[in-house]
Amino acid sequence: MRYALALAMAANCAAAHAQERPRAPQFEVDATWPKTLPNRWILGQVSGIATDRHDRIWVVHRPGSLTPRERAAERTPPEAKCCVAAPPVLVFDASGNLLSSWGGAGAGYQWPESEHGIYIDANDFVWLAGNGKTDGQLLKFTMDGKFVLQIGKQAGAHDSNATDRLGSPADVAVDVAAREVYAADGYGNRRVVVFDSETGAYKRHWGAYGKRPSDEKTAPYDPAKPPSPQFGNPVHCIRLSQVDGLVYVCDRTNDRLQIFRKDGSFVSEHAFEKETRGNGSVYDLVFSPDRGERFMYMIDGMNGEVRIVERVSKQIAGRFGRPGRQAGEFTALHNIAVDRQGNLYTSEVQTGQRIQKFRRLDQQL
């Protein structure tokens, strides 16, 4: 009798726990977003997307990735009525209207050889990274494109333990209170590196599992083998949770997320779609904007999907998307952003060359 009662109580507890687990948010693609660009502009590979505290959507793309045919209107004389490469940085409102644009080479800083990653901090500064072979710098601008600070410099070689430059960094996050900027560093290096966000002074860095990184060549990812002791290339995203105060890092080609304290000490790692090879399954993530950051929205470029992951349990609660070129499908899915209403925005590189909006359908709690 006691055994039966214990089983019944366990079943009831399990059922109650299942009921407490949050239902996955629901999304629908908005095929009308964004609106047609002015000035015969066209987007190249869209290598970064972010939102600011005013719910504006910021995009950085690669004008240099466009083909001569795509830029036919730039020729003298023009070869066709369209098109012209848009400026690298564009800003949209939630309705898809273009609000402003800027970017490119200028006095006092080194514009990236290959644009990669954009972040808007809580003080309204815009941060950019670059994954070109010579890119070893982060750039900081005002919202209207005025240059503020360059951290690092362009150079020919990479060094995962360098303190004066980065190695083709992929992504940026800023801790405004601590005045620190974190970089996912990157395509050349294999580390997280932290600088003073006001002066650019080096502060600390670490590799996988919080250990000293190495640039020694590692074997290609093999799901049948033990996890790699080093980050793969690229270290593709970095996010700071406002709830748990931890640092979330995308080790893309190793199909894993690693989590750290801000001092670099290792907390945990979590594999997603671990049979995925190629370019990997953990590209980028953002936290849901509810007070508890209940979900992580994680993108998988190789499998062409957005995963909805419970932040605390790391369990997959839902997913949407597939490889393709129709609205709501993805070709080379690369980055993701979320606004305060819970709507998602995605960007695509390679031949995708577009941004999409996914409206949240259910009520955000």
Encode pLDDT of 61-116 as tens digits: 999 999 999 999 999 999 999 999 999 999 999 999 999 999 999 999 999 999 99
Banded model confidence at residue 21, pLDDT cuts 50, 70, 90: low
Encode pLDDT of 42-66 as tens digits: 999 999 999 999 999 999 999 999 9
Asked whether residue 1 carries a pLDDT value surpassing 60, the answer given is no
Q: What is the distance between the alpha carbons of residues 200 and 127, in angstroms, rounded to a whole number?
A: 13
pLDDT at position 22 = 62
Q: What is the distance between the alpha carbons of residues 349 and 331, in angstroms, rounded to a whole number?
A: 8
pLDDT at position 335 = 98
Encode pLDDT of 124-159 as tens digits: 999 999 999 999 999 999 999 999 999 999 998 899
Percent of the chain with pLDDT over 70: 93
pLDDT at position 363 = 80
pLDDT at position 186 = 86
With a CB cutoff of 8 Å and minimum separation 6, the contacts of 60 are 46, 47, 48, 49, 88, 89, 103, 115, 116, 117, 118, 128
> Residues 131, 186: contact at Cβ < 8 Å?
yes
Encode pLDDT of 232-249 as tens digits: 999 999 999 999 999 999
List the one residue out of 117, 131, 129, 114 whose CA is nearest residue 234: 131
